Amino acid sequence: MRLFEFEAKALFSLNGIPIPEGEVVETPTEARDVAESLQKPVMLKAQVLAGMRGKAGGIKLARNPVEAEEFSKKLLGTEICGCKVRKLLVEECLDIDRELYLSVTFDSSKGRPVIIASPEGGIEIEEVAFKSPEKIIQVYVDVFEGIKPEAAREIVMKMGLTGDLLLKVSQTLWTLYKVFEKYDAIIAEINPLIITKNQQVSAAGAVLNLDDDALYRHPEVAIKPEERIEDPIELEAWKLGIPYVRLDGDIGTIGSGAGLAIATIDLVRHFGGKAANFLDTGGRITQEHIEKALEIVMMNPNVRAILINLYGGINPIVEGARGIVKFIRERKLQIPVVVKVKGNFEDEAWKILEEAGVDVIKVTQTELAAQRIVQLAQMGESVDYSR
């Protein structure tokens, strides 16, 4: 779960990383007030959960409180990178001497934390890596040992910093690692870390992605999904803990497993159809869960056929079949539904579905199921399940 910049900065600051002075606001008047109290030019930064926001016009410099109000009016309520701007971070404008890059993430192949630092910050780090890879310092960290202050200093020395700045930046890096560890972060990034003309450091850009699976360990990080998931169906699915992504087609899809669900979407497309969504039931196909999954799929008004692709591995697949039938009957569904079920307890599942008049595919070939649903969707005939 990605945090908003202002949330990330609040956590950084709480743990001792210096950040620019500023406040988050929701109205132009508030923006003016903050600019007035800071008594200097301010940056207005759209709070959206997307990168490249600056290039999309989401960051504006206001020289005085009047401009702060004026520019906020223009920014608030617009869309930046597909996200509605509901909040702005109003921050003091810093006198920049240098910009650095610091981050802690993990390398998924090695399975270890990695620190990435560069004396060139402010732009996309990918760009630095591409143009001048020698400027990227990568240091792997032992997950049990963590990082020692002297190791942090060594990295910062490699960035070419000395004296007082060596101490300040290495302290910041060390703290950033602590934040990464403490909050179960996927990535903790400062870009840019600004060094001001009077040699102070400040985390002007902050990214903090936390591991969804570890959020339960951090009740102090209160995350409101309704503020960060734009699509109402995706939000509903998130609340139910169902991985769902809305797509622009008309064939609803459900797969028991992410890889299978993705492959199902690919196959629907291969046969000339277009999926309306990605939905992964994971390993918990209970009757109730499959009903909820179908509910989510049907929230999308474009759906005119449904393909359900299930394997009975860890799943009580028979219950899944019952859930499908119950949903179809209760909702008096009239659109074509094709179900492919294989695996543990498949015979019982087939029987339940067939008795309810559902189209069942009994071999492992998702191709057949995809082909069938695309055909049925194109024919556009309604189906009577009430027989």
Partner 1 sequence: MTILVDENTRVIVQGITGRIGSVQTRLMLNYGTKIVAGVTPGKGGQTVEGIPVYNTVSEALKEHPADSSIIFVPATFAKDAAFEAINAGLKLLVIITEHIPVHDTMKIKAMAERHGVTVLGPNTPGIISPGKTKLGIMPGNLYMPGEVGIVARSATLSYEIAGNLTEAGIGQTTCLGIGGDLITGVTFVDVLKMFEADHDTKAIVIVGEIGRTVEEEAAKFIEGQISKPVVAFIAGRYAPLGKRMGHAGAIIERGRGTVETKITALREAGVKVIERPMEIVSAIRDVFKHGLT
Known catalytic residues?
101, 189
Measure the CA–CA gap between 214 and 197, rounded to whole angstroms: 40
Tokens of residue 216, six digits: 């339960």
Rank residues 129 and 223 by Cβ distance to partner 1 and give the closer one: 129
Whether residue 192 is preceded by a cis peptide bond, meaning omega within 30 degrees of 0, is yes
Q: Which residues bind partner 1 (CB under 8 A)?
A: 2, 51, 103, 105-109, 111-114, 116, 125-126, 129-130, 136, 138, 142-144, 181, 184, 186-187, 209, 211, 213-214, 216-217, 243, 245, 247, 255-260, 262-263, 265-267, 269-270, 275, 278, 282-283, 311-314, 316, 342-344, 346, 363-367
CB of 309 to partner 1, least distance (A): 8
Rank residues 10 and 114 by Cβ distance to partner 1 and give the closer one: 114
Rank residues 269 and 326 by Cβ distance to partner 1 and give the closer one: 269
Rank residues 20 and 192 by Cβ distance to partner 1 and give the closer one: 192
Give the number of other CB atoms < 10 A from CB of residue 183. Answer: 23
Rank residues 25 and 267 by Cβ distance to partner 1 and give the closer one: 267
CB of 27 to partner 1, least distance (A): 31
CB of 138 to partner 1, least distance (A): 8
Is the CB of residue 222 less than 8 Å from the CB of residue 22? no
- β-strands 305-312, 251-255 pairing: parallel
Residues making up the chain, counted from first to last: 387
Tokens of residue 33, six digits: 């007030």
Is the CB of residue 279 less than 8 Å from the CB of residue 254? yes
Q: What is the CA radius of gyration of the chain?
A: 26
Tokens of residue 267, six digits: 């196959």
Tokens of residue 86, six digits: 């509901």
CB of 384 to partner 1, least distance (A): 31
Sequence-distant (6+) residues with CB within 8 A of 90 are: 22, 23, 24, 25, 30, 31, 34, 35, 38, 42, 43, 44, 45, 68, 72
